Amino acid sequence: MSNLPDQLKLLGLRHTAAHLDDLVASATKKRLGPIELLEHVADLETQHRATKSLERRLARSRIGRFKPMADYDWTWPKRIDREAVDSALRLEFLETARNVVLVAPQGLGKTMIAKNVAHQAILAGHSALFVTAAQLLLDLAAQDSARALDRRLRHYCRPALLCIDEIGYLSYDNRNADLLFQIISRRYEQKSILMTTNLPFSEWPTIFPNAACTTALIDRTVHHAEILALEGDSFRRRDAEAVKKSRRRPAA
């Protein structure tokens, strides 16, 4: 068996090679026949590869830490379509390469919802990438050649789901508007985009002032999209006020 682990690695059976002694001991103890042993090895390798694939997709997604939807207070927003949010979490929009746009004031949990949707996509076997609008456009604008830019554009067009967070918090020049339009155009009717924004589409020209492509950018975004509008006060403001009140009570 001295060369067996190396041969197993060459065949791509790395998990079996790493746990060969335990596998042999378990097979001997259970008195597994040849077919049963092969089935057991196949099951272990399939489970191991599925786990590694999930870990890779999670690492590449750049989702970071987030609260699960079980922690979301559905009673706080003054307006929220829970069925539409649940539909997004069920990934129904991915089947037809539709988009989802979360429109809400700051502090109502649109980033939390977006990260949960991306996480569900990864658990379902899809690839996903989460990035803020500022990070995306800064990365694209920093490319120093047409070839490098095309490579980065393909990078952002590769995942099954691209989440672009925080559109509307900063203003961008015409160059950045053109770059975002290229991303949206390349994914148009091919792969889904999930966006979060604090501004209604009527105010998007303020994000890209004087950009000729703003109307086309909006048009391609909303053509095949579910627009989920949330209204209400900020969760963070509510929590901050609750902390202030709790501190005042002992003093009183």
Distances (CA, A) of 58 to 2, 25, 124, 129, 159: 36, 34, 12, 9, 12
Q: How many degrees, rounded to 5, is the angle at CA 224 between CA 220 and CA 228?
A: 105
What structural domains does the chain harbor?
4-59 (no CATH), 69-237 (3.40.50.300)
Could you tell me the pTM of the whole model? Answer: 0.83
| pLDDT value, residue 250 | 61
Q: Check: CB of residue 72 under 8 Å from CB of residue 80.
A: no
**If you average pLDDT over each of 44-53, 115-124, 214-223, 235-244, which comes out highest?**
115-124
Is pLDDT of 217 > 80?
yes
Cβ-in-10-Å burial (0-12, 13-18, 19+) of 163 comes to buried
Percent residues over pLDDT 70 in the chain: 98
pLDDT greater than 70 at residue 117: yes
* Residue type (1 letter), 72: Y
Q: What is the DSSP letter of 99?
A: E
**Locus of tokens 């830019």:** 149
pLDDT tens track for 50-82 = 899 899 999 999 999 999 999 999 999 999 999
User: How many CB atoms neighbour CB 139 within 10 A?
Assistant: 15
Q: Distance between CA 148 and CA 244 in Å, rounded?
A: 51
Buried b (16+ CB within 10 A) or exposed e, 192-206: bbbbbbbeebeebee
92-109 pLDDT tens trace: 999 999 999 999 998 999
